[in-house]
Amino acid sequence: MNIFRTRQALQTYLDGPRKATLRIALIPTMGALHEGHLSLLKEAQQIADIVVCSIFVNPTQFNDPGDLEKYPRPEENDLRLLQEIGCDVAFLPSVEEMYGPAEEPWHLDLGNLEQVWEGEKRRGHFQGVTQIVYKLFRLVEPDIACFGQKDFQQVMVIQRLIELKKLPVRLHIVPTVRNEEGLALSSRNMRLSEVGKRKALVLYRALNHIKRHFKDHDLNILRQEALDILHQEKEIDIEYLAICETRSLQEIDRIDPAKNHVALLVAWVEGVRLIDNMLLD
């Protein structure tokens, strides 16, 4: 595995594969890698010739400096996992490498995606996400970008970035990886106790209930049933639960047969904010 920490070194290396017209896949991460990330790598290895995994804790997408400070950075373990799975390139730049002193202001018109759910709760977050992903796209020039379904709103935001900037990148969405009991794997789960992880399984049960009854229940009743399931765990705080159309993430009260739909859920367990979703069609 080749490890690079500067843009120049990475670009020089990628000149070879580009000239050979090899297919390049990019997987942007913030590190603290787990089975969910590794599933992206395995998928990318099936559809590309060269897989580039970036590890960069991006400061512009954090609203809370404390959250940025606490974000795990197990670099040695991350590199070991990438080596074991056979990743071709690991890119680990510094903040100074990615953001210069004369950084131009960044703003992308994300429409409704920036006004609802994660956009509303974390003002400016998706501007920071698109800013760094655009930098990585310009640098790596990938044919394919692999993202996990677990951060579904982020995936829709990246799709919007690709469309607005007219980038020749195909977005490949990889299904959420869950443990045997249904808990979505996440770097945030590392902060949960074993008791907390068991409590968090109620998120999967609620989403699964929505999926099973999506076509045969009134949606308002269905949402309330899912909330009732969540309330069975007394020490879980629900931030939001919504049934939405996938592209705009506009909440719906009736099914549109011409569109696809997703259930979004955010809840707090042991002070940890857990994000999950399930495609319904």
Is domain 187-275 classified as CATH 3.60.20.10?
Answer: no
Name the residue ranges covered by the structural domains of the chain: 2-174, 187-275
Q: Is it true that domain 2-174 has CATH number 3.40.50.620?
A: yes
One of 37, 125, 209, 261 is an active-site residue; which one?
37
| Residue 33 half-sphere exposure toward CB, CA atoms < 13 A | 25
Cα–Cα distance measured from residue 228 to residue 59, given in angstroms and rounded to the nearest whole number: 37
Please report the beta strands in 224-281, taking only residues with DSSP state E, as ranges in sequence order. Answer: 236-245, 261-269, 272-279
Cα gap 111→125, rounded to integer Å: 14
Rounded distance, CA 30 to CA 247, Å?
A: 25
Helix, strand, coil in percent for the chain, rounding step 5 = 45, 20, 35
| Residue 113: partners with Cβ closer than 8 Å, 6 or more residues away | 119, 126, 153, 156, 157, 160, 248, 249
pTM, whole model, 2 decimals? 0.93
Binding residues for (R)-pantoate: 61, 154
CA distance 255 to 62: 34
Cα gap 167→134, rounded to integer Å: 9
User: What is the per-residue pLDDT for 56?
Assistant: 98
Please report, as a single letter, which amino acid is at residue 65: P
Q: 13 near 89, Cβ under 8 Å?
A: yes
Strands 236-245 and 261-269: antiparallel
For residue 275, give both structure tokens: 């994000």
Structure token pair of residue 250: 């506009």
Sign of CA dihedral 183, 188, 194, 196: negative
Binding residues for ATP: 30-37, 148-151, 177, 185-188
Residue 231 among the catalytic residues: no
Could you tell me which residues are annotated as the binding site? 30-37, 61, 148-151, 154, 177, 185-188
Which residues, 6 or more positions from 208, have their beta carbon under 8 angstroms from its beta carbon?
Answer: 182, 278
Pairing of strands 89-91, 50-55: parallel
How confident is the chain (281 residues) per 10-residue block, as mean pLDDT? 98 97 98 94 98 97 88 94 98 97 94 94 95 98 97 97 98 95 87 94 98 95 97 94 96 94 97 96 89
**β 2-4/89-91 pair status:** parallel
Three-state DSSP class for residue 124: coil
The H or E element containing residue 241 is: strand 236-245
Contacts of 65 (CB under 8 A, 6+ apart): none
* pLDDT value of residue 209: 98
Burial 85-108 (b: 16+ CB within 10 A, else e): bebbbbbbbeeeebbeeeeeeeeb
